[in-house]
Amino acid sequence: MTPQLEAITLTNFRSINAPVRVPLDAPVVLIHGQNGTGKTSILSGIELALTGDIPSLRRVDAGYRQYLINKDAADARLDLIARGLPNGRTEASMRVTSNLIAGAPLLTPELAKTYSERCYLAQATLGKLLEIYQGQDAQSSTSPLTLFVKELLGLDVIEFIVEGLHDAGDVRRVRNAVPAYSDVESRISDIERRLSRITGGLKYIDSAITAQSEGLQSAVARLGLSKVPTIAADCGVLLKELEAKSSKNQLMSVARTRRDLLAAKERLATIEANSSIDERTRLETNDLSAKQQLEKWRQGRGKVLSETIASLLPAFPSLPSPDSSDPEVSRLAALGAVEAEIRRCSDLLTKQEQVTSRLEQIGSELERLEERARRLDEQILAHASNAGSLAQALAGLLPHIHTEECPVCGRNYAEISKIPLVSSVSGKVSALSESAGMLEALSREKTTTSSQLTTLSAERDRLVATQSTQVAAEEANTERARLQILKQRLDGLADEAAQATTLILNAGIAARKLSDAREANDQLSSLIETVRQAASQLRKEFNFPKQPLGIELSLLLDFAEQEEASLNALEELRVTAISRIQSLQGQHASRDSMLEEQADSTLEFESLRKAKERADGTIDTARTLSKKVLDIRTSIVQRVFNESLNRLWADLFTRLAPDESFVPAFALPRRSSGTVEAVLETVHRRGERAGNPQTMLSAGNLNTAALTLFLALHLSLDPKLPWLLIDDPVQSMDEVHISQFAALLRTLSKRLGRRVIIAIHERPLYEYLALELSPAFAEDKLITVELGRNASGYTTAKATHHIWQEDKAISAA
């Protein structure tokens, strides 16, 4: 059953100030009234009872609810009766008080939204419809029109797919969203690096193995061993062979022999100088001759020297004998002793003279000092010995003398002298003090003189004690003369003694040379034995004495050196070969481990690569799918816009404005990606695209465009609510438009089954529409409602039900 509104009763709602019942149970209801009589109130009331809200008023004034109650009443009431609603409801009673709206609206929220947006066109809305649809502030992708179009076309699912697959568009997003992906990527790149490193390592180690093998090859050939191994296991065998081939002992033996020979060669050089027979004979002759010459000297001049020295022995027992030691040394020692004794005698004599002269000097000095002492004693006696203490006592009296009266005897001193007493006493004190000073100086002088006398007397006594006797002095004089003669003799023997010294030296050298020569002979024998042994060690023939020992020795030494060098070279080669083979072993081992790692890594790389290939395949599929879905969206949008919405809108617009060249339309999306945006444009009837309707159309036609867009959107929907409620839509229409609109309304009502409720304030238009929308067939019905106010100012509503009557003018048949 088609949903239908039956009637609404409004009480104190907005401008309606009395209970008014408006019947609505006809395909067309026309409501007429002067401005302010309540047309809009009725339509608002219907919306409130259906939806619980009045969005058309809310858009104008958010606080609209406080004006819903008529200003003369405390509360308002709406009672709406309907039938055929999907939810089975038939009645809604809404009570509006100052702070709340009570009652359950008739429609479900979903249908309520459809009603407010697609069924009811409020007067205030029409003028702004295009702005509202296109969204004044919102992005065009979220404008109400866009949202409606998306919902209409079911594009949500496409956006779900496209947005859901957004990550596939860029591998960076995949990495973020699926950590496993970037993990596999980084593992692949790790393994690639590792494989490249292994390849490089293998290349390097292969070339190292080749170089090592080549080096080893030549060494092995020279050492006379088997071929170079190509695998690690064979290296051990060669290593053992090499280790067994050591020539260290042999080398040590040869080296020892060479050192022996070298030492022998050095010794031979020293021995050879002393080893000839002639030389030895000559040495023996020399020795003999030297000994004879020495003996001859000893018997001649040497004897004089010996005797001379012997004569000195009683006086100088420690003198060396010229026979037992160097004659010159002996002579010089004797000479030294004699000269020393001569000096001693001379000193003694000189000293004796000095003492005698000094004693004479002291004697005269002593006489002079004794005379002085005597004079001093005389002067001392001339001075009173107590002068000093008397002067002190008199000085003590001086302060007590104030007058001329004597403080001692009390007599007047003036009687005896004209000099004042004080002056007299002071003079006495002064004279006494002077005498005391003199006495002291003389005593000191006396003491000095006495001390000098004592010192000189002591010196005289000491000198007298040391003075030798005349006899002793004469003895010294005689001794000195004897010694001077001996000295002259010793001086005369100087050349002889020097010659003797040379002779003794020569005899010593000759004897030593002879002894050396004898020793060299012994050494040579042992040297020959050494060389013979060395030759046998070196397995060489010993050709001495066929060949001189020196030459034989040099030949053997050369051979030993060569042998040692060749053995050394061989040993070096062997050691190098061992170290090479050891490093070859190591290289083979690391090559094997590298090959193993390479195999493992390659295996892992392959499985990772396959995994990434699978994932990339999925990403590619997703990307392709996303693109295809966008293409499909484009085709759907284009198809629906062109075939459905734009065609319908153009049809509706053309009905109302047949001579307008520019027809409004939804602009087709120019690109497939991005979001769908419902943008309006105009299209010339010839097909060119032009600007937005708001810039291209006159005000009247813009209104027509908005009205027809509203109708087109309404007609695009599944007619769950086949209702159209339009509040005074013809305000800015001219007569042509009005008559066209009337025809359109007829079509909507009579042919498309829409139940139409129109509010009109203009009387002629109301009457015209009442005629146009008259019932055209049986069951068709028109209700006209005329609003007004009675004498008391209360709202009145006069409803007329027009039913179909067969046309008498022209037969329908």
Is residue 152 close enough to count as binding another protein by CB under 8 A? yes
Would you say 761 and 39 are in contact if contact means Cβ atoms under 8 Å apart?
yes
Distances (CA, A) of 449 to 50, 359, 377: 168, 19, 11
Is residue 715 close enough to count as binding another protein by CB under 8 A? yes
Q: With b meaning 16 or more CB within 10 Å and e meaning fewer, what string describes 105-144?
A: bbbeeebbebbbbbbbbbbebbeebbebbbbeeeeeeebe
How far apart are the C-alpha atoms of 729 and 738, rounded to whole Å?
A: 9
How far apart are the C-alpha atoms of 469 and 462, rounded to whole Å?
A: 15
Is residue 688 close enough to count as binding another protein by CB under 8 A? no
Is residue 181 close enough to count as binding another protein by CB under 8 A? yes
How far apart are the C-alpha atoms of 407 and 400, rounded to whole Å?
A: 7
Q: Which two tokens stand for residue 100?
A: 């709340």
Q: How many residues bind another protein (CB under 8 A)?
A: 88
Site string for another protein, 577-596 (x = CB under 8 A): --------------------
Is residue 809 close enough to count as binding another protein by CB under 8 A? yes
In the bound state with another protein, the residue whose beta carbon lies nearer, of 472 and 603, is 603
- From the list 340, 447, 743, 763, which residue makes contact with another protein (rule: CB under 8 A)? 743
* DSSP type of residue 229: P
In the bound state with another protein, the residue whose beta carbon lies nearer, of 300 and 753, is 753
Is residue 205 close enough to count as binding another protein by CB under 8 A? no
- From the list 100, 104, 138, 157, which residue makes contact with another protein (rule: CB under 8 A)? 157
- Please, what is the minimum distance in Å from the beta carbon of residue 761 to another protein? 20
Write the secondary structure of 503-515 as one string of H (helix), E (strand) and C (coil): HHHHHHHHHHHHH
- From the list 60, 100, 180, 252, which residue makes contact with another protein (rule: CB under 8 A)? 180
Alpha helices for 403-469 (secondary structure H): 421-466
Is residue 387 close enough to count as binding another protein by CB under 8 A? no
Among the listed ranges 154-162, 526-534, 576-584, 785-793, the one in contact with another protein (CB under 8 A) is 154-162
Is residue 142 close enough to count as binding another protein by CB under 8 A? no
Distances (CA, A) of 7 to 57, 81, 82, 92, 776: 22, 5, 7, 11, 23
- Please, what is the minimum distance in Å from the beta carbon of residue 84 to another protein? 18
Distances (CA, A) of 212 to 204, 357, 575, 706: 12, 114, 14, 95
- From the list 633, 677, 721, 797, which residue makes contact with another protein (rule: CB under 8 A)? 633
Would you say 500 and 297 are in contact if contact means Cβ atoms under 8 Å apart?
yes
- Please, what is the minimum distance in Å from the beta carbon of residue 748 to another protein? 8
Is residue 647 close enough to count as binding another protein by CB under 8 A? yes
Instruction: Identify residues 773-792 at the interface with another protein (CB under 8 A).
Output: 774-777, 780
* Cβ partners under 8 Å of residue 111, min gap 6: 85, 86, 720, 721
Instruction: Identify residues 652-681 at the interface with another protein (CB under 8 A).
Output: 652, 654-656, 658-659
Is residue 812 close enough to count as binding another protein by CB under 8 A? yes
Is residue 273 close enough to count as binding another protein by CB under 8 A? no
Among the listed ranges 171-179, 448-456, 471-479, 515-523, the one in contact with another protein (CB under 8 A) is 171-179
Is residue 621 close enough to count as binding another protein by CB under 8 A? yes
Instruction: Identify residues 745-764 at the interface with another protein (CB under 8 A).
Output: 746-748, 750-752
Is residue 234 close enough to count as binding another protein by CB under 8 A? no
Write the secondary structure of 773-805 as one string of H (helix), E (strand) and C (coil): CCCCCCCCEEEEEEEEECCCCCEEEEEEEEECC
In the bound state with another protein, the residue whose beta carbon lies nearer, of 454 and 607, is 607
Among the listed ranges 18-26, 244-252, 493-501, 609-617, the one in contact with another protein (CB under 8 A) is 609-617
Is residue 771 close enough to count as binding another protein by CB under 8 A? yes
Q: What is the DSSP string of 566-608?
A: HHHHHHHHHHHHHHHHHHHHHHHHHHHHHHHHHHHHHHHHHHH
Is residue 619 close enough to count as binding another protein by CB under 8 A? yes
Would you say 620 and 228 are in contact if contact means Cβ atoms under 8 Å apart?
no
Is residue 642 close enough to count as binding another protein by CB under 8 A? no
